[in-house]
Amino acid sequence: MKRNISICMIIQLLVVCIIGGCSNNMQGTLDKNVTDSSTRKIIIDTDTGADDAAAIILAAMDKNIEILGLTVLAGNVDIDQATQNALMALETAGISAPVYKGAVENYKGEEIQAFSVFGNDGMGDNDLIHPSAEYDEGDAVDFILDTVNKYPDEVEIVSIGPATNIAKAIQKDPETMKKVKKIWSMGTAGLGPGNSSPVSEFNVYHDPDAYKIMLDSGLDISIIGLDACNDKAMWTPDNFKKLSNANSIGSFIDSSFEKLREFYMSNGTDGSVMNCDALAMMCVLYPDFVTDTITCHGSCITEPGETLGQVIFYQKGFTYDVVKTSDFDYNVTLITGVKKDEYFNRYLKAIK
């Protein structure tokens, strides 16, 4: 009799444990589904130099972000090198995502002349680029369109290079591109000076026609200009030492910026540099990092001359003599203030 009672007790305990285990597993599944449903879906469009790689790594380390893919184009370096750099950035961050090659010519069909102050490989010339993964077959523009169709009104595109791939996607299928949730653009000089000319920023200057198409598309666009990443946002030599000592990811980023630091020092500075792409990604990831914005109509100058690539921002609520603003589409949010003094420490914490 006692033996039968013991067996019954054991069976009851096993049943309780099994039920308890199932409940825990079910709860884990529910938690994962909640996380998945709140995960933001992004495509990163990049001409991968060191600053792009730092931005890709920052996004890859964020648990609330799903990188659906990287679309690559020539810009900082040629398309093959930019693709290898993109693959290496993902691998350094410990994730995988599809990587597609895109534009080697600007929107007018002229070959993009790669230009980099990050070294010949765009990554400091320190033999960092040995990815084990391969890029995906297919075209970057088709990937963008297919992905937006798969996830209508969910995909955010983070553009940290020239806008050529995006403009070509708009040209090829404007109706599909209307389903893009948002475009984040690291481009323009903002309300400050340029770097490719006194008034033009690199990404816009290297394909102003593409940038104009993007601005004129009516899509929801947030722009982070050069003026957001100067002054207290610049990374100092001491910051790079902290990166190098942090971990293997920090060391990778530190080494990738070596040629840029040398370039700045050759111009009489202490080696502090701007890293606008990673700052732009921080604006994407952390809404509280942004302190000020203005709603604008953006107009890109495409005519050859001293103002080629300049983007003029007409602020909503203002009256201008030069144009009739009543016809404007105020679809651009220009980010005019960020927590510059928190930028580096936030980045360091993220990669740790």
Q: Which residue in 147, 156, 179 sits closest to 41, CA to CA?
A: 156
Question: Tell me, what's the pLDDT at 24?
Answer: 36
Per-residue pLDDT tens over the stretch 77-88: 999 999 999 999
Give the 3-state secondary structure of residue 239: helix
Question: Tell me, what's the pLDDT at 316?
Answer: 94
Average pLDDT over residues 114-140: 95
Class of the CATH-defined domain 39-351: alpha beta
R_g over Cα of the chain: 23
Task: Check whether 74 has a pLDDT greater than 70.
Answer: yes
CA distance 201 to 225: 8
Per-residue pLDDT tens over the stretch 297-352: 999 999 999 999 999 999 999 989 888 777 789 989 999 999 999 999 999 999 99
Could you tell me how far CA 290 lies from the centroid of its own chain? 16
* CA angle centred on 11, ends 10 and 15, rounded to 5°: 115
Length of the chain: 352
- Strand ranges inside the chain, DSSP E: 40-46, 65-72, 99-101, 136-139, 155-159, 182-186, 221-224, 290-300, 311-315, 332-338
Tokens of 261: 């630091």
Task: Check whether 146 has a pLDDT greater than 60.
Answer: yes
Domain boundaries, the chain: 1-36, 39-351
